[in-house]
Amino acid sequence: MFEFTIRLDSLSVRPLYEQIYDYIKEEIQNGGLSCHERLPSTRKLAQYLDVSRSTVTLAYEQLLSEGYIENRPGSGFFVNDLEGLYKLSGEEEEETSETKQIKETFLYDFSPSGVDLESFPHNAWRKISRGLLMENNEDFYQLGNPEGEEELRKTIATYVHQARGVRCRPQQIVIGAGNDYLLMLLNAMLGDDRVYALENPTYRKAYDIMKILRQEVKTVEMDEQGIMVDELEKSGATVAYVMPSHHYPLGTVMPAGRRLQLLKWVSSGKDRYIIEDDYDSEFRYKGKPIPALQGFDSNDRVIYLGTFSKSIAPAIRISFLILPMRLMKLYRERGRRFSSTVSRMDQKILAEFIRAGYYERHLNRMRSVYKSRHDTLMECLKPLSNSVSISGEYAGTHLLLTLKNGMDEEQAIEAARKAGVRIYGLSSYYINEKPRRDTVILGYANLDEKKIREAAKILTRILK
Amino acid sequence: MFEFTIRLDSLSVRPLYEQIYDYIKEEIQNGGLSCHERLPSTRKLAQYLDVSRSTVTLAYEQLLSEGYIENRPGSGFFVNDLEGLYKLSGEEEEETSETKQIKETFLYDFSPSGVDLESFPHNAWRKISRGLLMENNEDFYQLGNPEGEEELRKTIATYVHQARGVRCRPQQIVIGAGNDYLLMLLNAMLGDDRVYALENPTYRKAYDIMKILRQEVKTVEMDEQGIMVDELEKSGATVAYVMPSHHYPLGTVMPAGRRLQLLKWVSSGKDRYIIEDDYDSEFRYKGKPIPALQGFDSNDRVIYLGTFSKSIAPAIRISFLILPMRLMKLYRERGRRFSSTVSRMDQKILAEFIRAGYYERHLNRMRSVYKSRHDTLMECLKPLSNSVSISGEYAGTHLLLTLKNGMDEEQAIEAARKAGVRIYGLSSYYINEKPRRDTVILGYANLDEKKIREAAKILTRILK
């Protein structure tokens, strides 16, 4: 059965697997596929659609967990009894259980977006929350300033200065509920007549968001030093979204020379800006910390984007923008119209958490936890030195393995999956271009050393 | 001195007073106005610029509080010594103290956006928060679903069904940090090829936000039943933002006939939608509660927007959208790309607050508190029955006085101001049209009965 002529749109912001999932689900719902009908095997469908097998597997897994299809071991996938399917259609909650499902089927998950939550300083956080709850301060329940609580902004200004060499006044700081929201806000401020450039590969979500917000977006190739500034100039972009401290996903740390080139680019055109996403700059295990680009920018052109989601916990929905002075007028005219998205209570808890020194202690602890996971992983991967080359190490919470053993990305992912280990492909971070298919990503933030050793042992066997 | 030829843009989203403030501030900063120079009186400048005197007063008050000018009693306003002014320029924190300043100079503030925070159920909220903090559940600190916690969405679905006659499944609900954010999200979902219509007058902020998001926005006149549907049809709009339960600021409750007309409009064109902002529907003091428009919509065209900022506290940054089923696909494709803006902990606190019955009790209590304030104000305004006519009463937390005593809005506001009472003009809620200048707004949510009596006594003297 090969009538799955799915029109896949590789330029769409929707992942391919979701497009496949949607197509099959709709076919089942409208009767195009009938009950107990057999689906093509993942291998055949992948071949037919010219996509990777893991893409089809992901789509099938979602359909499985939502009850649309069943897996009969040895015979393949079949459309399930339709009874009660209406209730399930489009239900987001099913998707949640689906996510759980996938997680549970992997013994070891090298998720690059993981965070070690066991180390979350529950006690300190709880103590501060309880203290503030006891205060019974009516002000906490009034709507605060659109830009956030002054107390938190002052604390952040001091912190980013000390830790990241950022030079700013508290007034330049805008607090918001996560990076996605702050990108939305920036977009509302900067208007339509900008051309954005993103590194290729890049943090896929930033790209998706800019496309959804209907911005003109270019991608610029990277070399081993980071974004290629000549290409950036040629692209005609006016706003460059970059991650100089530790690129995601490549792990590149941009050297001083390239930084200067980038700052030269931004100051040599009217209305040019850099958005510096400093998402995991806190974690660096070798060499001196490299200050943020913002600190070197004497032309007031860098928009700094920082977050506590990575360094504290993903559910702490607090990020911040540091705007150049020249954008303050625009912020007051447009940005300030949007009410604050973070409750005053949460802002006060975080401000106190930082002020009382808990944040610094937590960062030191996490740096040591992550360093030891990083070192363990590096050590355990040594037997692979002839079959993979490692990059992006010594910082952040993930590293990359480029395969020299003849396998491509999909094969490595599939082999690992069969052995209970989830690893990730680099190709999905590439946009609009033929991606590299020789590299996999291993995030180690959410695996303890014992698990890392066990998982690495499996990988060394598979990738040898 | 009359060289204040300020180009005021009445179509701008920036209030006129801010435009005046900006102009003068910039003149002082760049030396166009020198130290100790005298400014024109508020009366003269208002006359010259053809704006109300209170507009100029507001601009001067902001300049005063930020230290740019000083008031020499008996002689007028003078530019201050420039020493140290650089530090102040553009500092948002100064604006905060300015807001405080204005608040403190009024003995009685009939703010229409007020909420009674003394009645905030601190103990219940604290108890739930502490209980959840004790649970030490690692999951709370993981990033949740973009659309919000299932638990909260289920609770809200039940609540809006019982209280507002809204018919929806939990999956149609999207939680977000405030109405402004959810309007941003809707905008990202709906894309550029829509034409929005807002009632005139309207909730000014919604208008500002749509303009900042670069949408095409029309305004449609209202009669005593609400938005005029013929005019809406003529406007060419495809998305109508309305407040049928209790219009802000007019207080109009849309009768059944007009609702049906509106629903007919929305279903008679492809891709037409209604955004129903049900911001303070909880408070109604006479007659039967009128269910939300959403409950009557059999064509799956109403986007319902609800908030807990008004009914619990402004700092509770939790609002929700209820999407029609036909928009779920678009939400999954575009809206779901944006991470949740509300922390899981806050969502869990609110869900438990509603589930355990605290919300219902709180609403009942607030309904009785606000009703008694409403009744007191109505009673105290009786002596004015010949000089004002009251409208928008019996619901929400504000009412309108249309002046029949020969005064216009500015004169009434100014006279009240001198006597320590802050009342608000209706004109600023009108967009693009010659506004009505005969009506003032009195919000009573944040004044207790004693204060209402005292303030109303002053108003009866002034407005007689």
Confidence of residue B92 (pLDDT cuts 50, 70, 90): very low
From the CB of residue B440, how many other CB atoms can be counted at a distance below 10 Å? 25
Secondary element (H or E) of residue B14: none
Residue A22's nearest CA partner among A50, A58, A71, A48 is A58
- Residue of B90, B214, B338 lying closest to A192 (CB–CB): B214
Q: Is A286 exposed, middle or buried (0-12, 13-18, 19+ CB in 10 A)?
A: exposed
A208·B343 Cβ contact <8 A: no
Range picked from A425-429, B11-15, B57-61, B122-126 for highest mean pLDDT: A425-429
Largest CA distance in chain B: 67
Helix (H) or strand (E) holding A113: none
Contact present, A129 and B345 (Cβ < 8 Å): no
Give residues with Cβ within 8 angstroms of B84, minimum separation 6: none
- E strand or H helix at B128, and its extent? helix B122-135
Q: Which residues of B touch A185 (CB under 8 A)?
A: 184
Question: Is it the case that residue A218 has pLDDT exceeding 70?
Answer: yes
The mean of the pLDDT values for chain A is 87
> Model pTM greater than 0.80?
no
Cβ atoms of B236 and B229 within 8 Å: the answer is no
H/E run at residue A227:
strand A226-227
User: Would you call B141 and A313 a contact, using CB atoms and an 8 Å cutoff?
Assistant: yes
In the prediction, which pLDDT does A87 show? Answer: 36
- Mutate one of B337, B349, B448 to test the A interface: name it (highest A CB count within 10 A): B337
**Ramachandran region, residue B230 (left: φ > 0; alpha: ψ -120 to 50; beta: rest):** alpha
Give the mean pLDDT of A325-330.
94
Nearest Cα to B253, choosing from B295, B221, B224?
B224
* Cβ separation A141–B341 shorter than 8 A: no
Would you call B2 exposed, middle or buried from its count of C-beta atoms within 10 A (0-12, 13-18, 19+)? Answer: exposed
Min distance B337 CA to chain A CA atoms (Å): 7
Q: Which residues, including other chains, have CB under 8 Å from residue B46's CB and lie 6 or more apart?
A: B52, B53, B55, B56
Chain B residue closest in CA terms to A121:
B136
Of the candidates A462, A379, A381, A367, which has an alpha carbon nearest to the alpha carbon of residue A420? Answer: A462
More confident residue, B103 or B57: B57
CB contact under 8 A, B142 and A315: yes
The pair of three-digit structure tokens given for residue B271, joined into one six-digit string: 């891709």
User: What pLDDT, on a 0 to 100 scale, did the predictor assign at position A82?
Assistant: 60
Q: Averaged over A343-353, what is the pLDDT?
A: 93
* Closest-CA residue of chain B to A87: B169
Report the pLDDT value the prediction gives residue B28, as an integer from 0 to 100. 80
Contact by Cβ (8 Å): A370, A449? no
| Interface probe with A: pick from B185, B321, B334, B338, most Cβ of A within 10 Å | B338
* pLDDT score of B433: 67
Mean pLDDT of B49-68: 82
Q: Which of B96, B64, B102 is nearest to A150 (CA)?
A: B96
Distances (CA, A) of A286 to A122, A253, A290, A316, A393: 29, 12, 11, 28, 9
pLDDT at B405: 92
Distance between CA B33 and CA B26 in Å, rounded? 9
| Mutation target among A87, A100, A149, A339 for the B interface, most CBs of B within 10 A | A339
Two structure tokens written together for A287: 């060499």
Q: Chains A, B: CB contacts under 8 A, how many? A: 172
Question: B288: which DSSP letter?
Answer: P
* Cβ within 8 Å, pair A314-B343: no
CB of A222 closer than 8 Å to CB of A250? yes
Residue A103 has pLDDT above 50, yes or no: no
Q: Which of A339-343, A365-369, B230-234, B279-283 has the lowest mean pLDDT?
A: B279-283
Q: Which of A214, A315, A339 has the CB atom closest to B345's CB atom?
A: A315
- A178 with B134: Cβ contact below 8 A: no
* Cβ within 8 Å, pair B90-A329: yes
Q: What is the pLDDT of residue B258?
A: 95
Q: Would the CB atoms of B188 and A212 count as touching at under 8 Å? A: yes
Nearest to B315 by CA among B198, B178, B131: B178
Give the closest of B129, B325, B342 to A317, CB-based.
B342
Mean pLDDT across the stretch A272-291?
86
B133 vs A129, A147, A178: nearest CB? A129
**Distance separating alpha carbons of residues B163 and B359, to the nearest angstrom:** 12
Q: State whether B122 and A140 contact (CB < 8 Å).
A: no
* Distances, alpha carbon A169 to alpha carbons A325, A372, B95, B344, in Å: 9, 36, 15, 31
* Residue B100 scores a pLDDT above 50: no
Nearest CA distance, A132 vs chain B (angstrom):
10
Of the ranges A67-71, A124-128, A400-404, which one carries the lowest mean pLDDT score? A67-71
pLDDT above 50 for B86? no
Can you give the pLDDT at residue B83? 52
CA distance A464 to chain B (A): 35
Share of chain B above pLDDT 90, in %: 57
Task: Burial-class residue B415 by CB neighbours within 10 Å (0-12, 13-18, 19+).
Answer: middle
As a whole number of angstroms, the distance between CA B202 and CA B304 comes to 17
User: How many CA atoms lie less than 13 Å away from B232 in the CB half-sphere?
Assistant: 28
ipTM over 0.85: no
B96 interaction partners in chain A (CB closer than 8 Å): 145, 150
For B323, residues 6+ apart whose C-beta sits below 8 A from its C-beta are B172, B173, B174, B303, B331
